[in-house]
Amino acid sequence: MSDLTAVPQPQLEQLLAAIEGGDLRWPPQPAGLMAVGLQALGDRLRLLDGLGRQGACALIRAVLAERRASRGPELTLVWTGPDPLRGGARDTTVIVRELLARAQREVLIGGCYFTNGRDILQPLHTAMLTRGVRVTFCMDVGDAHRDADTPLASAQAAATAFLKENWPFGPPLPDFFFDPRTTERGSMVKLHAKCIVVDGHASLITSANFTYLGQHKNIETGVLIRDAGFATDLTRQWQALIAEGRLIPCPTASGYAPEATVAPESWADAEEFLDAPYLPLVAALIAAGVPGPADYGMELTDSGIALAEISVMHWGQGTKRLSLVAAGVLAASSADVDGQVIEMDMTSDLATLAARVKETLGRLE
């Protein structure tokens, strides 16, 4: 046990989850440890090879139990609204975005109400897209969607409305679950919980809905709990509801499609909408006097529509191409704009690349 005492608790929890979940074979090999991001533990774990898989898991659980018994959970006050102590609590929106952006494996959201949630949920979509994070969303159907013929149809209407208003990114999508009691006409029952659990370690319990008012204006309070034991207990509560059929899966209605018209219309939102490697190029484009595009972002590479702006720019994540399309032109993909494509090389002189973009835009006007 002593050889594991210096290993940080989050790494021990990640190691146990990888072994029990089948992501890491025992005894672990360097390639397997690297695949789950635990290559730094290689030397320590060699001493445990003789224990076998079950013995190693039992030892790790014992170490974690000792940690939890000797040290309480880390608690952070989370707050929306006026903060007279100026820093006495952390902002709800900041906490939510940080939690979702740092997710590595799984996120569970129990939330009553979402409106205009793109900015909050965009880091979560990026985590799903780039790291394969699994997302379970337990939703409240609400009064507006209780007129459908069946509970499932009501839930699908609610899920589709949620996606259209809050999820313009397209796939991958969360796994939706609903309480059928919330679909009954005249029912007063709500799925009123508001919580987020990330990677079986961090849990946010809050009074704040996932709305502009709840995240920015109202007086709301919550607590961020960094404790694997609590996160496990909270997750098991939701999982038990699903296992018992009290929360029912809701396949996404086939009519949903992301709308390009919700994309940013200037450079103002580039830092949140684009991946970090593109930001130096954005700075060069701004310095060169290039106007902001109507659409941009890898999520819209294959579905962008030029609006009334000067052009639409497709940032090809895989192709490394920047496509420029004249206003009014519909482009199904960057392959449809031959002669108006600039090859991106992020190691080249970005000022020169920005000048080429500006020149090409001038020809498209």
- What lies within 8 Å, CB to CB, of 243 at 6+ separation is none
Q: Find residue 114's DSSP bridge partners.
A: 210
> Distance of CA 112 to CAs 122, 142, 162, 214, Å?
19, 9, 11, 11
What pLDDT is recorded for position 109? Answer: 96
Three-state secondary structure of 239-261:
HHHHHCCCCEEECCCCCCCCCHH
Map tokens 């509970």 to a residue. Answer: 151
What pLDDT is recorded for position 250? Answer: 92
Q: Find residue 313's DSSP bridge partners.
A: 324
CA 139 to chain centre: 16
Give burial (CB, 10 Å; 0-12/13-18/19+) of 146.
middle
Residue 237 has what DSSP assignment? Answer: H
What pLDDT is recorded for position 344? Answer: 61
Question: What are the residue ranges spanned by the domains of the chain?
Answer: 2-70, 74-250, 260-364
Is the bond leading into 171 cis (omega within 30 degrees of zero)? no
Count the neighbouring beta carbons within 10 Å of the beta carbon of residue 347: 5
Count the neighbouring beta carbons within 10 Å of the beta carbon of residue 53: 14
Specify whether the CB–CB gap between 29 and 41 falls below 8 A. Answer: no
What pLDDT is recorded for position 87? Answer: 60
Specify whether the CB–CB gap between 354 and 287 falls below 8 A. Answer: yes
Q: Superfamily for 74-250?
A: Endonuclease Chain A (3.30.870.10)
The helix/strand/coil state of 210 is strand
The helix/strand/coil state of 24 is coil
In the chain, which stretches have pLDDT less than 50?
1-2, 259-265, 295-312, 317-319, 326-339, 365
What pLDDT is recorded for position 13? Answer: 83
What pLDDT is recorded for position 328? Answer: 42
What pLDDT is recorded for position 266? Answer: 57
